[in-house]
Amino acid sequence: MTFLNSKNRIAAFATKLLINSMFSMALCVGSAACALAQDAQPTKWVPYNPAKDKGESWTVTTETSYQNGTPSRMTESHSKSGNRSVDKQRVEVFGLNHRYQPAFETEKETIRVNDTTTRTVVRTYNWDENGRRKLVQVTEEEARSTANGDVQAVRTTSNSDINGNLQIVQREVADTQKTSADAQETKTTVYLADGNGNFTTARQTQELHKRSDDHRIEEKKTTLLPDGNGNFKVAEVKEKTIQEDGKNRTTEERVSHSDLNGRLSETSRTVDRETETPEGEKSNSLDIYSINNPGLTGDGRLHLNQRVSTVQKKDSNGRITEQQIERPNPGNPHDRPEVRAKTKYVVRYASPGTQETKTTQERDINGNWKVVRVETRKSDEAPPAATTTSDKPQ
């Protein structure tokens, strides 16, 4: 009965988890962690080295409480032995019996078959009304690389039917080729199963990546969708430029969509400026522009939708990251953007691992600050060595 009563809680939690993931992505702007939020790409495989790839394991537990919401707990673990690694993630929500109950779980198994082939299997589970764990989805990928850097990856996704049997629902083929010493192209095709053993092409993407001698990176991703007449037409184009200057970086991304007549027009733009001092203090300023803004009548032009400012300081005991988000007031959208949310993220290195706390505040309708989310995280993974200045992965 408890699991039955908690089904709505779990559904609501899943929606909130998505929102929190979007907020976390803003927090990691400019860092490698943000790559997790992008479309899955063929991995650049490093040849297996038995002398280097030693066994390792760690566990991270994150507990999150909300002002008006169900508390949650997420447990992540990693184990590695030889050419096999396993990453698990379990999300639990607080039930009516005042105990945490499992909501869903993923298990990712990666095996380096040899120095050119890697197989990855991701299994996703949820729990039924009787508290039994059920396999709901399996994604299998095999990636093969060549000596010149080309990679082919084939990814198959299967969902469980009402009887618990797996049925293939999607297949994805991605080919990455080195077109020059500093450029590569990735072509991806996504096929959907029709239930009768046949597949139809649902989407094609073409990605270009080029690095120039002046520390500039250019990326372009074009997405094509079927038009119903057996042809494909451009639906979206993303263009990104990254200009590096030592430890400073400026990233600009433009997204364009096509209308019914096939004409492309820019719908959003982001400009991210990241700086780092010799002492290791990092600052980020991210401006987000969109043609869709609350309170404004659409005029087809880009307007500032949000500004995210982040400052990170660190020492031998840990690091502190403070972030504030500015948005226009929906009631007076032409006024200067004001700070609507802020987060303080504190990491303390404590043998044998780390302890982290993240507190998020938002303004209420009266302009007062209210704590809306508190997240605590404990990890038994060893903290960075005292001699390094690189960030520990978040």
pLDDT digits (tens, 9 = 90+) for 311-359: 999 888 889 999 999 988 766 767 778 899 999 999 998 777 889 999 9
Extract the tokens encoding 315.
Answer: 């020492």
Q: How does the average pLDDT of the chain come out, rounded?
A: 83
Residue 373 covered by a domain: no
Other CB atoms within a 10 A radius of the CB of residue 284 amount to 23
**Residue 313 is assigned to a structural domain of this protein:** no
The C-alpha atoms of residue 231 and residue 132 are separated, in whole angstroms, by: 46
Measured at the CA of 330, the angle between CA 359 and CA 300, to 5 degrees, comes to: 115
Residues 6+ apart with CB under 8 A from 195: 167
Residue type, 380: D
73 within a domain of the structure (yes/no)? yes
pLDDT recorded at residue 353: 81
What SS3 state is found at 138? strand
User: What integer pLDDT is reported at residue 329 of this predicted model?
Assistant: 75
| Distance (Å, whole) CA 306 – CA 289 | 7
Cis omega (within 30 of 0) for bond into 71? no
Between 122 and 383, where is the model more confident? 122
Residue 237, number of CB atoms within 10 A of its CB? 17
pLDDT (tens digit, 9 = 90+) per residue, 216-268?
A: 999 999 999 998 888 999 999 999 999 999 899 999 999 999 998 889 999 99
Give the global pTM. Answer: 0.77
> Cα–Cα distance between 282 and 249 in angstroms, integer?
11
Q: Which domain holds residue 61?
A: 1-200
The neighbouring-strand residues paired with 304 are 289
Tokens representing residue 106 in the block: 């993923």
The amino acid sitting at 56 is: E
User: Phi, psi (5° rounding) for residue 120?
Assistant: -130, 135
Considering the domain boundaries, does residue 356 fall inside one? Answer: no
Whole-number pLDDT of residue 52: 40
Q: Is the pLDDT of residue 88 over 50?
A: yes
**Is the peptide bond prior to 352 cis by the omega test (within 30 degrees of 0)?**
yes
* Count of the separate structural domains present in the chain: 1
Task: Give domain status of residue 234, yes or no.
Answer: no
- For residue 120, being part of any structural domain is answered with yes
Contacts of 149 (CB under 8 A, 6+ apart): 44, 176, 178, 184
pLDDT tens, position by position, 104-163: 999 999 999 999 999 999 999 999 888 899 999 999 999 999 998 899 999 999 999 988
In a domain, residue 50? The reply is yes
What is the pLDDT confidence band of residue 55, given thresholds at 50, 70 and 90? low
Q: Is residue 364 part of a domain?
A: no
The owner of tokens 């297996």 is: 48
